[in-house]
A and B are shown apart, each in its own frame.
Chain A
Amino acid sequence: MNHAYDVSHLLAGLMLVASFSLLYQDRIFAVLNIFAAQAILLSMAVGWEAWTQQRPHLFITAALALCLKGIIIPVALHKMIVRLGVHRDVEQVVGVGKTLLLGLALTSLSLMLVLKITVAADSFTREGLALALAIILLGMLMMITRRNAVTQIVGFMSLENGLILAATGARGMPLVVEVSVAFSVLIALFVFAVFVFRIRERFDSVDIEALENVRGDTK
């Protein structure tokens, strides 16, 4: 029992570390690699849960996470960046230090919140939910603090990693929902890709600040 908890804690904790590395990293291919690593960790965490809790349908979720987000999406994004030919440093709206401090604050907040409101639940659920909420908030933070459209996509995908972790922790999420979420993420990737190429065609850059200028806002 304790052993099962230790490993799931390790995997979920490493996912959180990967989220922080995403916030810290300022080279775009490294961001993609970390994202792939996070997805692989996610599939391992889900697989471990399926193994220890005897919930075989979770193996399907794990396999989906591994194939779609560990392999297909990072490779697709990689090819997209090569074809876009954008410069590969990522500009950030606020500095790395502030972003990381904000991330720490958000993590503390989500741990405090989830631990307070889930006193009655069992330890796996509490743990999973707390870390999942932190990963979701960090994904949102990444979308806010990055100006490059591709890294914003990565932020969105990592947010979705958090959602799947939460769904694994909470009992009773039907398999249909999980599968449809996984595929809608894949659809979202295509939509994003189309948008990114359109932005690029119009402004010669994937820096979304160009969009603000078009709208006529004064900065």
Chain B
Amino acid sequence: MSETLTLLFGQTIQMFLVLLVAPAIAGITRRTKARFMRRQGAPIIQPYRDLIKLLRKEAVVAQNASWFFRSAPYAILAFTWVAAALVPTFASGLMFNWAADAVALVALLGAARALLALAGMDVGTSFGGIGSSREMMIATLAEPAMLLVVLTVALTAGTTRLPEVAEFLTAAPVTVRVSLALALVALVIVALAENARIPVDNPATHLELTMVHEAMVLEYSGRHLAMIEMAAQLKLVLYISLIVCLFLPFGMAPANAGPAAWPMGMAAYLVKLVFGAALLGVWEVSIAKMRVFRVGEFLGGAFVFAFLAILLAFLTREVLN
């Protein structure tokens, strides 16, 4: 009984850890970008201040907005939060690990995205519509690649459940796996596209012709906007955690280690998270944004990489058995 309680406690820690750390990760990325552009940059805690400010402000809603427009931000945050809480971060073998299935994760994120696209069209402004249509275009290209990555990992580890994959990869002897490297490249491209990052979308712009994510949320304000921002930050943390969990799971507390191993795992996780956020900042300053019509080729590249990864994983399995 007490063991169950411990596991539940661990799961709760993870749930609030991702929520608390998410704005800081966005702040670190912005700060890195600013420093590389030789600007001072906002302090890392700036996103927290922004969120608090937004939560205090009045939410202005368009006259013809329906109930859906008002309720969508909460549902989006809920879906993303659940997904982010499921990805193994500092320890595996927590309470709801049986639910941390990669396919379920893709489904949760897909649901959040569908809600966001609908909300973008709800008020009927043209920017919302264009943002939604572009978001769905990116999603139709990114999701197949994402599922192929999941299947590649599943083929290697024999399961789609993330904690077990992480344990398999930590326990396996160090070998060169070209299929996993290709899957990593594909997953990074998908993560960039899904998080509306350069070169697919620019998170810092409000230029009408190029914005995708910002166009959809243009009508939101106050606490609604705070929910959406928080969901976006959580999604970034989720993808970094996913990449870390699948490809660099070293340092994660194993399932049977108990709470004593958690602080160590948490330290390793936070270091990896900060490193990932800084790396994203460096990447973003060193590359230009693509035209929207070239995004298809970029994400097609992710699909090709993921497909090659699964073919090579299949080949290895067939040949060695």
Q: Are B300 and A96 neighbours in the complex by a CB distance under 8 Å?
A: yes
Write the A1-23 contact mask toward B (1 if CB under 8 angstroms, else 0).
Answer: 01101110110011011001000
Q: Are B315 and A111 neighbours in the complex by a CB distance under 8 Å?
A: yes
17 CB-based A-B contacts, threshold 8 Å: A9-B312, A13-B308, A16-B308, A17-B308, A20-B308, A24-B304, A96-B300, A100-B304, A103-B304, A104-B304, A104-B307, A104-B311, A107-B311, A111-B315, A123-B319, A126-B319, A130-B319
B117 to chain A, nearest CB (A): 24
Q: Is B140 an interface residue (CB 8 A)?
A: no
Contacts of A108 in B (CB 8 A): 311
Contacts of B175 in A (CB 8 A): 2-3, 6
Q: Are B314 and A10 neighbours in the complex by a CB distance under 8 Å?
A: no
Contacts of B3 in A (CB 8 A): none
Q: Are B296 and A5 neighbours in the complex by a CB distance under 8 Å?
A: no
Contacts of A17 in B (CB 8 A): 182, 308
A168 to chain B, nearest CB (A): 16
The listed residue (B179, B307, B319) touching A13 by CB distance below 8 A is B179
Q: Is A97 an interface residue (CB 8 A)?
A: yes
Q: A5-B320, A6-B175, A115-B318 are in contact. Are A13 and B300 (CB under 8 A)?
A: no
Q: Are B178 and A13 neighbours in the complex by a CB distance under 8 Å?
A: yes
- Rounded to whole angstroms, the CA-CA distance of A54 and B176 in the bound complex is 22
A9 to chain B, nearest CB (A): 6
| Additional 13 contacts, C-beta under 8 A, given A2-B175, A10-B176 | A9-B315, A10-B178, A13-B179, A13-B312, A100-B300, A104-B307, A107-B308, A108-B311, A115-B315, A115-B318, A115-B319, A123-B319, A127-B319
B223 to chain A, nearest CB (A): 42
Q: Which 3 A-B pairs have the closest CB atoms?
A: A13-B178, A123-B319, A10-B178
B318 to chain A, nearest CB (A): 5
Candidate in B300, B301, B308, B319 with the most chain A CB atoms within 10 angstroms: B319
CB closest chain-A residue, reference B304: A100
CB closest chain-B residue, reference A97: B300
The listed residue (A7, A97, A107) touching B176 by CB distance below 8 A is A7
- Rounded to whole angstroms, the CA-CA distance of A16 and B315 in the bound complex is 13
Number of interface residues of B (CB under 8 A): 21
List the interface of chain A (C-beta within 8 A of B): 2-3, 5-7, 9-10, 13-14, 16-17, 20, 24, 96-97, 100, 103-104, 107-108, 111, 115, 123, 126-127, 130-131
Q: Is B58 an interface residue (CB 8 A)?
A: no
A18 to chain B, nearest CB (A): 11
Task: Please report which residues of chain B, range 169-193, place their CB below 8 angstroms from some CB of chain A when the two chains form the complex.
Answer: 175-179, 182
Q: Are B301 and A24 neighbours in the complex by a CB distance under 8 Å?
A: yes
B290 to chain A, nearest CB (A): 14
Contacts of B307 in A (CB 8 A): 104
Contacts of A100 in B (CB 8 A): 300, 304
CB closest chain-B residue, reference A134: B311
CB closest chain-B residue, reference A16: B308
Contacts of B311 in A (CB 8 A): 104, 107-108, 111
B149 to chain A, nearest CB (A): 15
- Rounded to whole angstroms, the CA-CA distance of A142 and B307 in the bound complex is 19
CB closest chain-A residue, reference B320: A123
Task: Please report which residues of chain B, range 271-308, place their CB below 8 angstroms from some CB of chain A when the two chains form the complex.
Answer: 296-297, 300-301, 304, 307-308
Contacts of A123 in B (CB 8 A): 319-320
Contacts of A2 in B (CB 8 A): 175
- Rounded to whole angstroms, the CA-CA distance of A96 and B303 in the bound complex is 13
- Rounded to whole angstroms, the CA-CA distance of A3 and B173 in the bound complex is 11
Contacts of B304 in A (CB 8 A): 20, 24, 100, 103-104
A19 to chain B, nearest CB (A): 10
- Rounded to whole angstroms, the CA-CA distance of A131 and B178 in the bound complex is 13
- Rounded to whole angstroms, the CA-CA distance of A123 and B175 in the bound complex is 17
Q: Are A14 and B178 neighbours in the complex by a CB distance under 8 Å?
A: yes
Q: Are A127 and B300 neighbours in the complex by a CB distance under 8 Å?
A: no
CB closest chain-B residue, reference A126: B319
Q: Are B178 and A9 neighbours in the complex by a CB distance under 8 Å?
A: yes
B313 to chain A, nearest CB (A): 10
CB closest chain-B residue, reference A124: B319
Contacts of B177 in A (CB 8 A): 6
A111 to chain B, nearest CB (A): 6
Q: Are B315 and A127 neighbours in the complex by a CB distance under 8 Å?
A: yes
Contacts of A9 in B (CB 8 A): 176, 178, 312, 315-316
Q: Are A96 and B320 neighbours in the complex by a CB distance under 8 Å?
A: no
- Rounded to whole angstroms, the CA-CA distance of A73 and B108 in the bound complex is 52
